[in-house]
Structure 1
């Protein structure tokens, strides 16, 4: 099979040389994480400052020069702000237009009208999975948040009950199904078949979403009761000015289609000099796709709902202040992650796990889990774990190799915590404390990871 065209991803962290011994690095990481937790939960320090101090603690205790630690932190901060930050800004603008136009209400009315109270979490899980199929987790979350808020308010249920299923759908697609960078990279590194992996990935994702989404969400909604915030809440509007359901869905899915189109073109054409692929690479870039979506939404949601130019401008401007805190916290999380990466903690843990005498599928999962816990990045966990598994897939069948890819994907989702930018993104959007985020989001990711592994192991019996 010809080598696949790999989507862009950060590779500077791949197999970084550790700066100290394994035990030394593990202690440094644990102390740094403890500093962050204590500063936020007990001292009540702002997460941005806590993450900054935690990163400095890890780097210094690991034995790095202070200037090197600062360079790592600022590099990770800047990279995250430039990537995820820009997407959050565009997504917030899009979401504000969707809400103020009445488009979000239209979607909510349709979902609530067609789904009973018991079926609502299942409907949200399906929506999350569909939106998450071609989209990065952060983009899907930003686009779905106004819908999650409004569904929670209209159905009068905890934000967790309807939010967790949607997050489960988004996260499962990110870990198991191409064209996300993690799965596509693992497919390329391990020489797996794309079609077989896609098919098996869907088989793994469906039962995993069911368990981690609606079923776990029902429990989590009882443990943590969070009311939907008033963000994106608008005064009652004349329903006659709302964009139609068809127009709303078409606009919401526009960036999805653009990015999915790019993935299809990359796979089908695979020629950098081909004009169609060059155009697809531009309009299918997540930033450009969301930028186009915002511009289109100004017409479909703005002018289409009888907003004038000034109202549209004010709506977009009002979308920015509420996300300022989210931006700096998420970026600081990226800085903390980079310090962990540059100390080589993930690499050291991977070397230890590779020496364990366990099955190939379980080893792939454990490697990804350890690197995920150490770095907070699902993509880094996938890349590094897959690189270490290359020699171990020789002689495996096509289906078995694809299952190794999915085992790595399952491990890369395990227990998101304070070194994961996604952790802070969910915490801030859902208005939860660190403890509540761990009991809901972190545990949901763990359930997703473990159930995914179980399904992979079951499939391994028949493949």
Structure 2
């Protein structure tokens, strides 16, 4: 979601499709989530079907006309797939290129050689944090997943020991540090200084990502001890392809480490360039900014990386032109289910929003008499739990508490933004498309995803919120 579209969302709230009261909406939310969890865990129904039925149950119990509930669900599904679907597909293609060319092996071997043993989770969180600074969460996930899975497989690590630090780095950057859309909207809403917010955001992010990443991953690996799923790795006949197998296919040559890293970082550089130009020029009509808005968009940046990868990854590995198209085709098959599940999660989220659940939480919280930073965090938490969207939680909470920033100092206004961002990350569950993205990529069931991803997100939210409150007392 672009900054412009988020601002439009904040400025133009959608009229609810039902006139249900707060009690009825609360029951509808609980019932909808219960239907999803029950169908998946007890009846073993596919998550796509479960989310679809749960959305319809939510709309029906909330008193929404069935046709409008269907429109809400399909609109959310379409919007989510439009936003992340192409990015997931391009990321899958790039991941397949990295795997089949040996580029992923090159990166994994280099990382294992430089940061083996206990330092590996710390290396992963550092890489994820740096890459996640300019990237949308979904883009960072699709870029890092091949590396995470290969490191876990080749290094014989628990998947959670490696995956949790990477996810923590990406999530913390997404929720707390501009130029991500959520923090930018909150900065505008409360009139905070972007530079001060960026500096304090990084300061809050450091202890948060350490605790939620490498430290928590020790426990997550004990709670959920699962191997890297073969279906998301480079496979031949269902098992990881070894260098010997690649050699038998005349693919024994690997692309260089520098070329591989440059290909992966190309979209990072393009998107970071766009963010910097937007901040420096800040004129949508400026020709330079418009050019960077195009080349730095996630779609173009990832597409450019894929096209460059043909020459930097596939050609050095011995791929002929005839082999590129089959590789792309094979890379798309494993993500079909992921796309549908992520889309259905977005549909469920949109149904929650359109039935007025987000507004219900805002109405209930208006009379809370607590400190401004804690109030902002709690409101964002409540909306996040109800809607599943960190961006919606950030936009709604920022709009509600913006008047409180009028008499705040520059640093406290920035901390108000960070309190909102921290709350927006609280306990991702079945109404969050990110929940299903992580579940499917890592091959987990719902319970395992809650024990790892959901708990990690909660730790991020609580630790970041605590650090923000602590900073408010000393600066």
**Residue 215 of structure 2 is aligned to residue 235 of structure 1:** no
Show structure 1 runs of 4+ deviating over 6 A.
Answer: none
In structure 1, the partner of 2:71 is 71
The number of equivalent residue pairs is 459
Structure 1 residue 273: Cα displacement: 2.1
Q: Equivalent of 1:422, from 422, 434, 442?
A: 434
Contact 1:360-1:392 within 8 A present in 2 as well: yes
In structure 2, the partner of 1:244 is 256
Structure 1 residue 146: Cα displacement: 0.8
List per-residue Cα deviations over 1:129-155 (Å, max 9, x = no partner): 011100011111111111011110122
Contact 1:8-1:181 within 8 A present in 2 as well: no
- Inter-partner Cα distance in structure 2 for 1:17 and 1:362: 29
**Residue 173 of structure 2 is aligned to residue 165 of structure 1:** no
Which consecutive residues of structure 1, in runs of 5 or more, have no partner in the other structure? none
| Matches for 1:21-100 after TM superposition, within 5 Å | 21-100=21-100
Structure 1 residue 10: Cα displacement: 7.4
**Residue 398 of structure 2 is aligned to residue 351 of structure 1:** no
List per-residue Cα deviations over 1:97-125 (Å, max 9, x = no partner): 01111111111111111113111111111
- Inter-partner Cα distance in structure 2 for 1:421 and 1:22: 25
Contact 1:367-1:385 within 8 A present in 2 as well: yes
Q: Equivalent of 1:412, from 420, 424, 430?
A: 424
Contact 1:7-1:185 within 8 A present in 2 as well: no
In structure 1, the partner of 2:238 is none
In structure 1, the partner of 2:143 is 143
* Change in CA separation of 1:29 and 1:11 when aligned onto 2, cut-off 3 Å: farther
Structure 1 residue 232: Cα displacement: 2.5
- Inter-partner Cα distance in structure 2 for 1:351 and 1:228: 44
Structure 1 residue 12: Cα displacement: 4.2
Contact 2:152-2:228 within 8 A present in 1 as well: yes
List per-residue Cα deviations over 1:417-437 (Å, max 9, x = no partner): 000000000000000000000
* Change in CA separation of 1:168 and 1:68 when aligned onto 2, cut-off 3 Å: same
Contact 2:208-2:464 within 8 A present in 1 as well: yes
Contact 1:259-1:289 within 8 A present in 2 as well: yes
Contact 2:168-2:456 within 8 A present in 1 as well: yes
In structure 1, the partner of 2:301 is 289
Contact 2:7-2:185 within 8 A present in 1 as well: no
In structure 1, the partner of 2:320 is 308
Contact 2:133-2:173 within 8 A present in 1 as well: yes
In structure 2, the partner of 1:454 is 466
Structure 1 residue 81: Cα displacement: 1.1
Deviates more, 1:132-141 or 1:229-238: 229-238
Q: TM-score, normalised by structure 2?
A: 0.94
Structure 1 residue 355: Cα displacement: 1.2
**Residue 330 of structure 2 is aligned to residue 330 of structure 1:** no
Structure 1 residue 205: Cα displacement: 0.5
List per-residue Cα deviations over 1:289-315 (Å, max 9, x = no partner): 111111111111111222111222221
Contact 1:6-1:188 within 8 A present in 2 as well: no
Contact 1:129-1:173 within 8 A present in 2 as well: yes
In structure 1, the partner of 2:190 is 190
In structure 2, the partner of 1:433 is 445
- Inter-partner Cα distance in structure 1 for 2:332 and 2:284: 36
Contact 1:15-1:344 within 8 A present in 2 as well: no
Contact 1:208-1:451 within 8 A present in 2 as well: yes
Contact 1:17-1:347 within 8 A present in 2 as well: no
**Residue 394 of structure 2 is aligned to residue 387 of structure 1:** no
List per-residue Cα deviations over 1:376-398 (Å, max 9, x = no partner): 00001000000001111110000
* Change in CA separation of 1:430 and 1:171 when aligned onto 2, cut-off 3 Å: same
- Inter-partner Cα distance in structure 1 for 2:369 and 2:62: 29
- Inter-partner Cα distance in structure 1 for 2:172 and 2:141: 13
List per-residue Cα deviations over 1:59-86 (Å, max 9, x = no partner): 1111110010011001001111111111
In structure 2, the partner of 1:279 is 291
Q: Secondary structure at the match of 2:407?
A: coil
- Inter-partner Cα distance in structure 1 for 2:203 and 2:377: 18
Q: Secondary structure at the match of 1:304?
A: coil
In structure 1, the partner of 2:6 is 9
Which consecutive residues of structure 2, in runs of 5 or more, have no partner in the other structure? 235-240
* Change in CA separation of 1:151 and 1:10 when aligned onto 2, cut-off 3 Å: farther
- Inter-partner Cα distance in structure 2 for 1:382 and 1:164: 23
Structure 1 residue 270: Cα displacement: 1.3
Structure 1 residue 11: Cα displacement: 4.4
Q: Secondary structure at the match of 2:431?
A: coil
In structure 2, the partner of 1:369 is 381
- Inter-partner Cα distance in structure 2 for 1:44 and 1:287: 35
